């Protein structure tokens, strides 16, 4: 756990680019399994077999990872287009757009929930970055007494269940008039989101060559020019990953939103649990997809942008 | 950037830098020769890089001032000093191409894109990197990166250029090439340049002037020849490779030491015998070794002070002549002549054209470099005579407690 302070949670930004599932456990077995298969191949044929196999293997694994990532969504998609879909059946008995029509109807509340989710998640991302950039820089680059203690302290909100935090804060928020408001929800989301963003940011700064800032100064750059022309391009890709984490942590919050929002702030997870409690499988499935799609899209876009970024940012070509 | 007709002198006045209990720079006074290369040499951790950082403005001195001509730079921000520091690790921007990197400083000054690109490309060509303008640092070799770093500094036409171990990370064959480039670029511009190195040989070859920094103190700042031949302190002599320092007393044209009476340094006319005596530094390349009783080896290298064997008294071994401390100006340059001591050959080491021999004289070991072949026929344990011409002798003040 304490390693989190000095190392990014992701294995560097290029990792995101490799098929969308960094550090997937299957990837480890991939190499060893293939090489043992090659070892048993007769040596005269091994070159013929190995060539295409080696070239195809990464593509196949990427495909597998995507399938594993997307497969759980298949039942949801099927369910969302069903009218009647009962247990032993593989495919729905009757197809229908009813659920989607309900969910996407202008007055359905989905749009408002989507808007609130986005607003809250963006606010959480922004505020956590404001905290995380200076804090991460200090944690990642300075050696000071009590650094370990600060790191453990930062992780505590992640370890404590969100609902416990939310119930505890609720009383205070009621007194402050924050309960049931968007700012209140943003504040309670910051509790689990900020630690991730700060620790990721610390890793980004620990890995950045900040000696370049001193170099830029002696080449005639003023402090603000250094920040914009040197520090920003150095840390932007890593901070984008940190921001993505902050966004996704907020995006997935249910219990904290429910307690502090008190039913007046309806984000997508709140809507999702409400429809699940209502028992309409098709509507629940459609709502779940509306909730999952933006997060997935964001993940893919970030991975692509960063992949392109790191390719031009040095590294290999 | 500044008026080029008379490069300003870079002054360090009583510069001290402490990090807690550690003193990195201790009361350093230095007036850097304008328009020349000064090398700053010392073992690692002696404060060389701290000194560069203080001059560049990246480190604030604990005490003292940094001046460039009449301008006090001490409180001036690094980007306004006209001083560019090139770090050992080159520190190229990973997100810029070579030409963009060289143009970086011009961009910060608001030079428009076309003009800065033109000047950057011209400078890249000057350092021999034409055609590599679009490369990223990861696509350049160590030597090429060092050239980009140099070009990036020079394109700004700085008043003072500071280079921290510019050749440190390069292969030997690249070092010579880059050293010539650095010297060439410096000469073209008559740029006041300070080069930090831990390599004694490099410091001597590269610098018009040589500053020796030991434990945060500036011991000597002079021409390389002066530093090598006339070190100011025992520490400098030791750092530059003297292996044996002999305590001695000056008396007239002689220095009396444990191994005998040696001629006082001919060039040290004005030297004052310091209280507490001197230590004698012997230049290992100017000592000669021969069989006892044989005539002196032809000293083609020696100067006018070598005036034949007739002036030399009999070999005088032992500290019997230790006279009273002689203070006040000593005799001016009258040729003191030649001393000789006898001892035993205890070791030889073949170095190619030269052979390094160790001669034990009264329990002291003298290290002497002779031409290979000169000692043909002398085995280990053979008695030998060592000729000590005056120019091989130099004295430094004895270190307190030494």
pLDDT at residue A187, as a whole number = 95
pLDDT at residue B276, as a whole number = 65
pLDDT at residue A215, as a whole number = 95
For residue B162, the cross-strand partners are B85, B194
Pick from A178, A204, A190: which is nearest to A126 by CA? A190
Pick from B68, B151, B98, B107: which is nearest to A221 by CA? B107
The length of chain B is 402
CA distance A12 to chain B (A): 16
Query: Mean pLDDT in runs of 10 for chain B (402 residues)?
Result: 66 94 93 94 89 95 94 94 92 95 96 96 94 94 93 94 88 87 92 92 91 93 90 89 78 82 67 70 85 64 36 32 34 55 88 88 87 80 87 81 50
Count the neighbouring beta carbons within 10 Å of the beta carbon of residue B268: 21
How far does Cα B344 stand from its chain's mean position?
33
CB B160, CB B82: distance < 8 Å: yes
B68 touching A, CB under 8 A? no
Q: How confident is the model at residue A107 (pLDDT cuts 50, 70, 90)?
A: confident
Angle between helices A281-312 and A232-251 (to 10 degrees): 170
Proportion of chain A above pLDDT 70, given as a percent: 80
Report how far apart, in Å, the C-alpha atoms of B39 and of each of A15, B73, B204 are: 45, 21, 8
Pick from B254, B400, B234, B274: which is nearest to B323 by CA? B254
Task: Cite the beta strand spans of A71-222 per DSSP E.
Answer: 82-84, 94-95
User: Judged by CB atoms within 8 Å, which residues 127-156 of B form the interface with A?
Assistant: 136-139, 152-153, 156
Cβ distance of A212 and B83 shorter than 8 Å: no
pLDDT at residue A27, as a whole number = 37
For every residue of A244-285, DSSP letters joined together read: HHHHHHHHT--HHHHHHHTTTS--HHHHHHHHHHHT-HHHHH
Query: Is the model's pLDDT at A11 over the cut of 80?
Result: no
Cβ distance of B84 and A219 shorter than 8 Å: yes
- Return the residue in B81, B94, B135 with the most chain A beta carbons within 10 A, the one to mutate for interface testing: B94
Minimal Cβ distance to A218: which of B78, B95, B136: B78
Question: If you measure CA to CA, which chain B residue comes closest to A311?
Answer: B95
pLDDT at residue B401, as a whole number = 56
Instruction: State pTM to two decimals.
Output: 0.76
Assign residue A243 a region (left: φ > 0; alpha: ψ between -120 and 50; beta: otherwise). Answer: alpha
- Three-state DSSP at A292 gives helix
CA distance A150 to chain B (A): 25
CB B164, CB B52: distance < 8 Å: yes
Report how far apart, in Å, the C-alpha atoms of A99 and of each of A91, A109, A110, A115, A289 are: 16, 14, 12, 20, 12
Taking contacts as CB-CB distances below 8 angstroms, the residues of chain B near A12 are none
SS3 content of chain A, % helix, strand, coil (to 5): 75, 0, 20
Report how far apart, in Å, the C-alpha atoms of A170 and of each of A192, A194, A257, B123 are: 15, 19, 11, 65
CA distance B15 to chain A (A): 20
Report how far apart, in Å, the C-alpha atoms of A185 and of each of A178, A198, A257, B251 are: 8, 20, 6, 92
- CA–CA gap between residue A307 and residue B45 (Å, rounded): 41
pLDDT, tens digit (0-9, with 9 covering 90-100), for B374-394: 777 778 888 888 888 888 888
B187 touching A, CB under 8 A? no
Pick from A302, A317, A297, A300: which is nearest to A236 by CA? A302
CA distance B128 to chain A (A): 21
pLDDT at residue B201, as a whole number = 86
- Return the residue in B58, B59, B86, B91 with the most chain A beta carbons within 10 A, the one to mutate for interface testing: B91
Mean pLDDT of chain A: 80
Long-range contacts of B172-176 (CB under 8 A, 24+ apart): B174/B142, B174/B143, B175/B202
Minimal Cβ distance to A217: which of B78, B89, B139: B78
- Three-state DSSP at A122 gives helix
Higher pLDDT, A173 or B305: A173
Count the neighbouring beta carbons within 10 Å of the beta carbon of residue B274: 15
Strands B209-214 and B217-222 come out as: antiparallel
How far does Cα B198 stand from its chain's mean position?
9
Which strands sit side by side in the sheet containing B338-350, from one edge to the other? B288-290, B383-389, B338-350, B354-361, B364-371
pLDDT at residue B170, as a whole number = 82
C-alpha radius of gyration, chain B, whole number: 25
- CA–CA gap between residue B368 and residue B385 (Å, rounded): 12
Sign of the C-alpha dihedral computed for residues B15, B63, B51 and B238 taken in this order: positive
Residues 6+ apart with CB under 8 A from B370: B288, B289, B354, B355, B357
pLDDT at residue A38, as a whole number = 37
b vs e for B104-138, b when ≥16 Cβ sit within 10 Å of the residue's Cβ? bbbbbeebeeeebbebbbebbebbebeebbebbbe
Higher pLDDT, A174 or A11: A174
Taking contacts as CB-CB distances below 8 angstroms, the residues of chain A near B139 are 317
- CA–CA gap between residue B11 and residue B190 (Å, rounded): 18
Cβ distance of B108 and A219 shorter than 8 Å: yes
CB A139, CB A5: distance < 8 Å: yes
Taking contacts as CB-CB distances below 8 angstroms, the residues of chain A near B95 are 233-234, 312-314
b vs e for B221-230, b when ≥16 Cβ sit within 10 Å of the residue's Cβ? bbbbeebbbb
How far does Cα A140 stand from its chain's mean position?
21
pLDDT at residue B266, as a whole number = 58
Assign residue B63 a region (left: φ > 0; alpha: ψ between -120 and 50; beta: otherwise). Answer: beta
Strands B37-41 and B209-214 come out as: parallel
Cβ distance of A222 and B139 shorter than 8 Å: no
Q: Phi and psi (nearest 5°) for B262?
A: -120, 155
- CA–CA gap between residue A72 and residue A68 (Å, rounded): 7
Reported ipTM: the value is 0.77
pLDDT, tens digit (0-9, with 9 covering 90-100), for B184-224: 999 999 999 999 998 888 898 899 999 999 999 999 999 99
Count the neighbouring beta carbons within 10 Å of the beta carbon of residue B300: 6
Cβ distance of A221 and B79 shorter than 8 Å: yes
- The segment with the largest mean pLDDT, out of A51-55, A313-317, B283-287, is B283-287
Cβ distance of A314 and B95 shorter than 8 Å: yes
pLDDT at residue B264, as a whole number = 80
Proportion of chain A above pLDDT 90, given as a percent: 43
Pick from A266, A240, A242: which is nearest to A253 by CA? A266
* Alpha helices per DSSP H over B193-233: 200-206, 224-229
- Return the residue in A219, A226, A232, A236 with the most chain B beta carbons within 10 A, the one to mutate for interface testing: A219
- CA–CA gap between residue B317 and residue B294 (Å, rounded): 18
């Amino acid at each position: 756990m304490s390693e989190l302070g000095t190392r990014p949670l992701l294995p560097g930004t290029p990792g995101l680019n490799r098929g969308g599932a960094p550090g997937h456990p299957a990837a480890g077995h991939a190499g060893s399994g293939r090489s043992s298969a090659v070892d048993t191949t007769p040596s005269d044929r091994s070159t013929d077999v190995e060539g295409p196999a080696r070239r195809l293997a990464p593509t196949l694994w990427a495909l597998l990872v995507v399938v594993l990532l997307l497969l759980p969504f298949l039942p949801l998609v099927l369910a969302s287009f069903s009218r009647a879909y009962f247990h032993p059946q593989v495919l729905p008995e009757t197809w229908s757009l009813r659920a989607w029509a309900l969910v996407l109807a202008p007055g359905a509340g989905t749009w408002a929930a989507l808007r609130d989710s986005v607003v809250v998640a963006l606010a959480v991302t922004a505020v956590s970055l404001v905290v995380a950039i200076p804090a991460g820089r200090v944690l990642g680059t300075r050696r000071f007494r009590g650094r370990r203690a600060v790191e453990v302290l930062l992780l505590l909100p992640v370890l404590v269940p969100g609902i416990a935090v939310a119930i505890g804060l609720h009383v205070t928020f009621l007194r402050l008039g924050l309960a049931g408001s968007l700012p209140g929800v943003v504040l309670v989301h910051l509790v689990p989101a900020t630690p991730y963003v700060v620790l990721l940011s610390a890793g980004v700064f620990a890995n950045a060559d900040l000696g370049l800032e001193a170099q830029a100064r002696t080449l005639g750059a003023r402090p603000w020019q250094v920040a914009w022309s040197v520090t920003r391009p150095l840390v932007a890709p890593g901070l984008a990953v940190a921001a993505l984490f902050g966004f996704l942590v907020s995006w997935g919050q249910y219990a904290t939103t429910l307690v502090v929002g008190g039913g007046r702030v309806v984000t997508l997870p709140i809507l999702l649990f409400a429809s699940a409690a209502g028992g309409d499988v098709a509507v629940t499935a459609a709502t779940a997809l509306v909730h999952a799609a933006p997060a997935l899209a964001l993940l893919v876009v970030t991975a692509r942008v960063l992949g392109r970024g790191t390719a031009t940012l040095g590294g290999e070509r | 950037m500044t008026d080029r007709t008379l490069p300003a002198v870079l002054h360090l006045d009583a510069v001290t830098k402490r990090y807690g209990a550690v003193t990195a720079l201790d009361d350093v006074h230095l007036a850097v020769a304008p328009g020349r290369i000064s090398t700053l040499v010392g073992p690692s951790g002696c404060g060389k890089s701290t000194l560069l950082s203080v001059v560049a403005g990246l480190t604030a001195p604990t005490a003292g001032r940094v001046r460039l001509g009449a301008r006090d730079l001490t409180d001036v921000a690094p980007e306004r000093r006209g001083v560019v520091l090139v770090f050992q690790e080159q520190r190229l921007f990973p997100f810029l191409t070579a030409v963009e990197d060289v143009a970086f400083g011009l961009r910060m000054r608001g030079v428009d894109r076309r003009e800065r690109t033109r000047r950057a490309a011209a400078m890249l060509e000057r350092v021999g990197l034409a055609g590599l303008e679009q490369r990223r640092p990861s696509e350049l070799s160590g030597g090429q990166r060092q050239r980009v770093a140099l070009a990036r500094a020079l394109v700004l036409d700085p008043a003072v250029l500071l280079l921290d171990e510019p050749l440190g990370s390069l292969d030997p064959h690249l070092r010579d090439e880059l050293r010539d480039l650095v010297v060439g670029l410096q000469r073209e511009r008559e740029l006041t340049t300070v080069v930090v190195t831990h390599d004694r040989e490099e410091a001597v070859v590269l610098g018009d002037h040589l500053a020796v920094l030991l434990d945060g103190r500036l011991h000597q700042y002079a021409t390389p020849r002066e530093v090598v031949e006339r070190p100011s302190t025992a520490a400098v002599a030791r750092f530059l490779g003297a292996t044996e320092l002999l305590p001695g007393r000056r008396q007239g044209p002689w220095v009396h030491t444990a191994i005998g009476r040696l001629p006082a340094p001919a060039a040290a006319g004005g030297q004052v015998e310091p209280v507490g005596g001197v230590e004698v530094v012997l230049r290992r390349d100017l000592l000669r070794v021969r069989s006892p009783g044989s005539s002196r080896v032809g000293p083609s290298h020696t100067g006018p002070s070598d005036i034949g064997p007739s002036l030399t008294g009999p070999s005088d071994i032992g500290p019997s002549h230790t006279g009273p401390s002689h203070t006040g100006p000593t005799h001016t340059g009258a040729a003191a002549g030649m001393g000789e001591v006898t001892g035993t050959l205890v070791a030889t080491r073949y170095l190619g054209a030269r052979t390094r021999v160790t001669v034990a004289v009264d329990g002291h070991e003298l290290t002497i470099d002779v031409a290979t072949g000169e000692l043909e026929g002398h085995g280990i344990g053979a008695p030998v005579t060592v000729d000590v011409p005056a120019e091989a002798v130099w004295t430094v003040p004895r270190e307190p407690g030494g």
